[in-house]
Amino acid sequence: MEDSISFTIPPEDLQAVKDMIAAINDLLAPYLITLSPEERGKLVELAEECEPFVNKVMDYAVTNPEFLPPFVQVKDIKKDWADTSSLLPIFRSIQQLESNLGDTVMVISSDAFETALIYFSWVKIAANLNVPNSQIICDDLNKSLEGEANHKPKPNEEL
């Protein structure tokens, strides 16, 4: 079996990334909020294809404020849109990073899990042949797999 990806990130690089993430969190913490699922469900979400519409509304609201309801201030909507426009590129960069990181972790963890399953299969064969120490290992590994609720063996993944 060949690894899909093979690399080792130097510990100092991993620490540098952790430090940078901590710095980003510290820098943005005063400006970020956390929503409950209920709060999220009540909000209108801005789809990417609607951004030009909102941008045009911002322009019209400035040039034709007579159409704004009395409870809406131009300065408030301009500020909201400016904040949105400044955060969206950062958000998208982080989304792309998260996606790439997720894909990478999925591939390398899949390789590790497949190898572990192969090892376990060989231990089970050894236990069936009464090879010394194999039954202890097999029992211990069985206990580990019993707790794994998310893994649904594929039809061709019989052990």
Report whether 117 contacts 101 (CB < 8 A).
no
Average pLDDT over residues 7-30: 96
* CA triple 90-91-92, angle to 5 deg: 90
74 three-state secondary structure: helix
pLDDT, tens only, 80-107: 999 999 999 999 999 999 999 999 999 9
Question: What letter would DSSP give residue 2?
Answer: -
- Checking if the pLDDT of 22 tops 50, the result is yes
The C-alpha atoms of residue 144 and residue 151 are separated, in whole angstroms, by 12
- Checking if the pLDDT of 155 tops 70, the result is no
Average pLDDT over residues 143-154: 66
> Which pTM does this prediction carry?
0.72
Report whether 17 contacts 104 (CB < 8 A).
no
Q: For residue 154, what pLDDT is reported? A: 52
Give residue for tokens 């300065």: 75
The C-alpha atoms of residue 151 and residue 159 are separated, in whole angstroms, by 13
The C-alpha atoms of residue 90 and residue 117 are separated, in whole angstroms, by 40
The C-alpha atoms of residue 53 and residue 51 are separated, in whole angstroms, by 5
Report whether 106 contacts 5 (CB < 8 A).
no
